Chains A and B, each alone.
Chain A
Amino acid sequence: MSPTYLILATFLACAVEAVEALTIVLAVGTTRGWRWTLYGVGAATAVLAGLTAILGPALTSIPIDSLRIVVGTLLILFGLQWLYKAMLRAAGLKDKRDEGSAYTREVDEAERADRPAAGKPDWYSFTLSFKGVLLEGLEVVFIVLTFGAGTHRVGLAAAAAAAAVVLVVIAGFVVRGPLARVPENGLKYAVGVLLTSFGIFWTGEGVGVDWPGDDAALVALIAFMLAGSLLTVFAARPKEAAA
């Protein structure tokens, strides 16, 4: 299978999660100082890297058919969560995430929280940035591990994820604020379609389905899920919103 899909899916998923983590880190760092915020980021990154390093080789040692059923099922479940919420947002049934207002909310909370005495650790900054990066990063680790293990390319998936983080951090540094102009909801929709399609493809292979056209069936699956979900969004859109 071409590594293009692997790189695209992990890069996009990781970019979306990195944008959300960046909003939290920027809000805490600019409001309360960078030292303990960055300690939190570092600690969470170390935990995530450790998880990938331990679970990656463990997953790839599972026989390929069993692995594809496990990984495919997980991807379907995970992808359906992303796609369901993205479709509700696209249909106007759920509020879209807005990084600008999320940033303002985080800044307000960070300003209201008690500050430590001089020279004492700022556990609020540490905990908030640690939790933000860890929770957003867990989704990335999950995607890197499932995609990487399914193709036996955990290293490549991790590299694509790392590239997305670096790009988002650089963009955040240049913009000096939350990346509110990133089309986050559209990206989540695309990632949801990719995760679900890969999940269907691998689960099918795992249970013994013989896909017509072999790997080319994946392209047809992506097109089918995209077209079907868009038609559903069109049908679900409230009449006053569609008009």
Chain B
Amino acid sequence: MSYLRRFGLFWWEFIVGDNLPLALGAGIAIGVTAWLVHVGLNAWWFLPVAILGLLAASVLLAARSGRRRRRKSRNESGHAPIAQTAAPGDHSS
């Protein structure tokens, strides 16, 4: 991997992180807020509700996939795994 590519990947990971849908959704929410203001609506309520909604949906989706994994693991081994394991986008700090 070239130095430039690694450099770009580092900053992408640093700013956007590994949950691209959440970051994209936030970008779209900002765009929609700007458009609502542009057409004359003081949509102060839109951005907080959209950001919290996106965040809640991301966490609840991760919880659902975690439940599926645990259920599958229980069915395979006959007991629940002790360690809580990865949800999408869960590495690093």
A interface with B by C-beta (< 8 Å)? 20, 69, 73-74, 76-78, 80-81, 83-85, 87-88, 91-95, 97, 138-139, 142, 188, 196, 200, 203-204, 207-212, 217, 221, 224-225, 228-229, 231-233, 235-238, 240
Interface centre among B15, B55, B83 (most CB of A within 10 A): B55
In this assembly, does B63 line the interface, its C-beta being within 8 Å of a C-beta of chain A? yes
Please, which residues of chain B bring their CB within 8 A of the CB of A196? 51, 55
> Are the C-beta atoms of A232 and B55 separated by less than 8 Å?
yes
12 extra interchain contacts, Cβ-Cβ under 8 A, other than A93-B66, A232-B55, A235-B60? A77-B15, A81-B19, A84-B19, A84-B55, A91-B59, A203-B47, A208-B34, A209-B33, A209-B42, A221-B48, A225-B48, A236-B63
Q: Closest CB of chain B to A161's CB: distance in Å?
A: 17
Q: Closest CB of chain A to B54's CB: distance in Å?
A: 8
Measured between alpha carbons, how far is A210 from B48 in the docked complex, in Å? 14
> By DSSP majority rule, is chain B's interface helix, strand, loop, or mixed?
helix
Please, which residues of chain A bring their CB within 8 A of the CB of B34? 207-208
Please, which residues of chain B bring their CB within 8 A of the CB of A237? 63
Compute the total of residue contacts between A and B using a CB distance below 8 Å: 122
Partner of B80, one of A95, A203, A231, A240: A240
> Are the C-beta atoms of B90 and A204 separated by less than 8 Å?
no
> Are the C-beta atoms of B33 and A203 separated by less than 8 Å?
yes
> Are the C-beta atoms of B62 and A209 separated by less than 8 Å?
no
Measured between alpha carbons, how far is A146 from B83 in the docked complex, in Å? 37
Q: Closest CB of chain A to B38's CB: distance in Å?
A: 8
> Are the C-beta atoms of A238 and B70 separated by less than 8 Å?
yes
Given contacts A93-B84, A203-B30, A224-B52, contact A74 B14 (CB under 8 A): no
Given contacts A85-B93, A88-B62, A238-B67, contact A208 B47 (CB under 8 A): no
Please, which residues of chain A bring their CB within 8 A of the CB of B52? 224-225, 228-229
> Are the C-beta atoms of A78 and B55 separated by less than 8 Å?
no
Of all A-B residue pairs in the complex, the 4 with the closest CB atoms, nearest first, are: A236-B63, A81-B17, A207-B34, A232-B56
Given contacts A97-B93, A203-B30, A225-B52, contact A210 B44 (CB under 8 A): yes
Measured between alpha carbons, how far is A87 from B84 in the docked complex, in Å? 14
In this assembly, does B43 line the interface, its C-beta being within 8 Å of a C-beta of chain A? yes
Please, which residues of chain A bring their CB within 8 A of the CB of B19? 80-81, 84
Partner of A200, one of B51, B60, B70, B93: B51
Interface centre among A77, A225, A229 (most CB of B within 10 A): A77
Q: B41 — nearest CB in chain A belongs to which residue?
A: A209
> Are the C-beta atoms of B51 and A80 separated by less than 8 Å?
yes
**A and B contact pairs by CB, cutoff 8 A, 27 listed:** A69-B30, A77-B17, A77-B23, A80-B17, A84-B17, A87-B59, A88-B62, A88-B87, A91-B63, A93-B63, A93-B66, A95-B84, A139-B14, A142-B14, A196-B51, A200-B47, A207-B33, A207-B37, A211-B44, A212-B44, A225-B52, A228-B55, A228-B56, A229-B55, A229-B56, A236-B59, A237-B63
> Are the C-beta atoms of B93 and A80 separated by less than 8 Å?
no
In this assembly, does B89 line the interface, its C-beta being within 8 Å of a C-beta of chain A? yes
In this assembly, does B16 line the interface, its C-beta being within 8 Å of a C-beta of chain A? yes
